């Protein structure tokens, strides 16, 4: 069980495996509860049944509330990331259009900006997503420095170009800020300690169920179904908190279309 606790965390690659491990630990604790009945006198268990029932009610309530809250929080992470990813597309196209309207002098800026968007896609959907949060500040600072140098090299010769340059600076800052915010939001969406506590609660709950129930095929089957229910809740939490990979991932098709459009 301690080994399973150490494995829990939103940065592990296989949510199915982790959810299955949680289901196994929960189910095993129920079987341990059945086994304890053979070791403890029946009268002792009968005398403590009211206390066990009270604890079961308390833990079941806590587990239901926390699981519901975690699912709601993870879904909030997913929907927020989806909205922010969708909002980047129009800003990227606007910045590319503004630089295009500025004139040939902004060609270097357009090429540099396109490279930044390609690197953004790699950070969120490619192999670099594992270090996305750790490098978010350095990456954003580097992008900001490069775009600032490009803007400083532009010398607007007309009022129209000055307006285009001001709009480009504002859009560039908004895009970099949104990317940084998206990366930092995914740093630790669901604390590992909280998932460990949920596992402990579910294990205790199923142990008490096994302690107070008669051992038979139906009881074992229902316990397995309950363990799978906890497993499915944990699976949803882990999947929704990783919106760029897994079953409920945000598709990179929109970013790919934007990259093709500004190319």
Q: How confident is the model at residue 63 (pLDDT cuts 50, 70, 90)?
A: very high
Residue 10 has pLDDT above 60, yes or no: no
User: What pLDDT does 206 receive?
Assistant: 93
Residue 131: per-residue pLDDT? 60
DSSP per-residue letters across 24-49 = HHHHHHHHHHHHHHHHS-HHHHHHTH
Beta carbons of 225 and 55 less than 8 angstroms apart: no
Q: Rounded to whole angstroms, what are the CA distances from 151 to 119, 177, 257?
A: 20, 17, 26
pLDDT at 60 over 50: yes
Give the pLDDT confidence score for residue 9 in this predicted structure. Answer: 40
Count the alpha carbons within 13 Å of 127 in the hemisphere toward its beta carbon: 0
pLDDT single digits (tens) 212-247:
888 888 889 999 999 999 999 999 998 888 888 878
Annotated domain spans of the chain: 15-263
Average pLDDT over residues 27-48: 86
Q: Determine the Cα–Cα distance for residues 197 and 66; give it in Å rounded to an integer.
A: 10
pLDDT in tens, 135-193: 677 888 888 888 888 888 888 888 999 999 999 999 999 998 888 888 888 877 777 78
Specify the pLDDT at position 6.
Answer: 40
Half-sphere exposure of 241 (CA within 13 A, CB side): 28
Q: Tell me the two tokens of residue 106.
A: 């902004």
Length of the chain: 263
For the chain, percent of residues with pLDDT exceeding 90: 27
Q: Distance from CA of residue 247 to its chain's centroid?
A: 12
* Angle, vertex CA 150, rays to CA 146 and CA 152, nearest 5: 115
d(C-alpha 137, C-alpha 126), whole Å: 18
């Amino acid at each position: 069980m301690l080994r399973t606790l150490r494995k829990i965390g939103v940065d592990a690659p296989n949510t199915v495996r982790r959810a299955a491990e949680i289901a196994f630990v929960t189910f095993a604790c129920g079987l341990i509860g059945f086994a304890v009945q053979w070791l403890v006198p029946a009268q002792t268990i009968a005398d403590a049944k009211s206390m066990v029932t009270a604890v079961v009610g308390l833990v079941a309530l806590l587990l239901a509330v926390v699981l519901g809250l975690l699912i709601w929080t993870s879904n909030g992470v997913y929907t927020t990331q989806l909205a922010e990813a969708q909002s980047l597309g129009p800003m990227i196209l606007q910045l590319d259009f503004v630089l295009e309207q500025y004139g040939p002098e902004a060609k270097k800026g357009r090429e540099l900006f396109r490279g930044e968007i390609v690197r953004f896609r790699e950070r969120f959907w490619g192999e670099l997503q594992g270090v996305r949060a750790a490098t978010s500040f350095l990456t954003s600072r580097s992008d900001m420095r490069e775009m600032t140098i490009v803007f400083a090299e532009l010398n607007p010769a007309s009022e129209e170009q000055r307006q285009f340059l001001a709009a480009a600076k504002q859009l560039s800052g908004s895009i970099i800020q949104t990317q940084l915010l998206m990366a930092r939001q995914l740093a630790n969406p669901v604390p590992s300690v909280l998932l460990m506590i949920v596992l402990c609660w579910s294990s205790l709950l199923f142990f008490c169920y096994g302690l107070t129930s008669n051992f038979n095929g139906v009881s074992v089957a229902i316990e397995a179904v309950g363990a799978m229910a906890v497993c499915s809740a944990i699976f949803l939490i882990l999947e929704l908190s990783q919106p760029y990979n897994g079953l409920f991932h945000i598709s990179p098709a929109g970013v790919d279309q934007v990259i093709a459009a500004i190319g």
